[in-house]
Amino acid sequence: MTGFGSAEADVPQGRLRVEIRTVNHRFLNLQVRTPSGFDRHQPEIERRLRGHFVRGHVSLTVSLDRSHATETTPPVLVDVDRARAYRDAFHGLQVELGLGGTVGVELLAGFRDLFQTPERDRSTAVEMDPEVLGTLVDQAAREVVEMRRSEGTRMAADLSRGLDRMEEELEAVAERAPERLVRERDRLREAIRELLDGEGEVDEERIAREVAHLAERWDIHEELVRFRSHLAMFRETLEAGSPDGVGKRFGFIAQELLRETNTIGSKANDAEIAARVVTLKEEIERLREQLENVE
């Protein structure tokens, strides 16, 4: 499910901020972006994220605003020997070429290689307290989880309504199913009467055998029982939940619901039942789309 969370804190190196965004994904896919020098912290960040999420694409970004740093500013170092060499070189030019003027600080200040600031090596690890960073990761993750939980509550209500609609369609199918045999029996009896044209008796025993054969071919009792069982399992899982996530379990149940629906459709032999089977498939497909958002 989608979610966003953030946390920040002031540290000696500046203002440290952690942002986490999540979107739908069948599996857990972690993407961690950190400033240069934070590489050594990535394994611990991923470990903490796995403690909060089991599914979804999780994108975490760490940023460090050094304008808020409170640590001591490193001194500027001057290469005096090099500066002296420059001064002597200019004096030599003055003598050799008969030039006037003086060699002062203003002139030497233009040579950047004379001044060095001990910049932090981008390839070296930032001396960051791992507990501070870990705490921010946990805070941002909990904010995401809370946002996802709120979304999950709304989604659970929507899923429940979808199950209600499927249950209504299924009961309509169950109620309609026996009427098929009655209509088929009457159709056979009428067809035989037309063929006999009043010159013989309708063989009711033969019709009964034929109807019994059709009843066996068209029987959807087992499919109805299994469909109801899958619906009950879905509801139980929806209400109980699981610390390991329920998305995969829901996906399996939805697949089984579709399997039973297809079998009912193949045995329908009735326009109204066929129409309700189409509605059931639409509801199941809507359900499966929603499950892409479920952890």
Using one digit for the tens of pLDDT, what is the confidence trace for 166-190?
A: 999 999 988 887 776 666 665 655 6
Condensed to tens digits (0 to 9), the pLDDT of residues 229-252 reads 999 999 998 888 665 667 778 888
- pLDDT > 70 fraction of the chain, expressed in percent and rounded: 78
Q: Phi first, then psi: give them for residue 241, nearest 5 degrees.
A: 70, -170
Q: When comparing pLDDT for 37 and 147, which is higher?
A: 147
Instruction: Say how far apart CA 197 and CA 31 lie, in whole Å.
Output: 80
Name the token pair of 257.
Answer: 């619901």
Q: Which stretch of 60-74, 103-117, 146-160, 202-216 has the lowest confidence by average pLDDT?
A: 202-216
For 1, 28, 137, 249, the CA distances from 24, given in Å and listed in that order, are: 5, 9, 20, 16
pLDDT band of residue 68 (cuts 50, 70, 90) is low
Helix 130-196 crosses helix 271-291 at what angle (to 10 degrees)?
Answer: 170
Contacts of 185 (CB under 8 A, 6+ apart): 207, 208, 211
Q: Which of 209 and 32 is assigned the larger pLDDT? A: 32
Mean pLDDT of 140-167: 90
Burial class (CB in 10 A: 0-12, 13-18, 19+), 94: middle
Look over the chain and give the mean of its residue pLDDT values, rounded to a whole number: 82
Give CATH for domain 3-70+131-145.
Answer: 3.30.230
The rounded distance, in Å, linking the Cα atoms of 257 and 263 is 10
* Sheet strands side by side (includes 28-33): 3-11, 14-23, 56-65, 28-33
- The whole-angstrom separation of Cα 108 and Cα 87 is 8
C-alpha dihedral (150, 156, 162, 165), degrees to nearest 10: -120
Domain ranges for the chain: 3-70+131-145, 77-116, 151-291
Q: Where residue 122 falls among pLDDT bands split at 50, 70, 90?
A: very low
Backbone angles phi, psi at 7, to 5 degrees: -155, 150
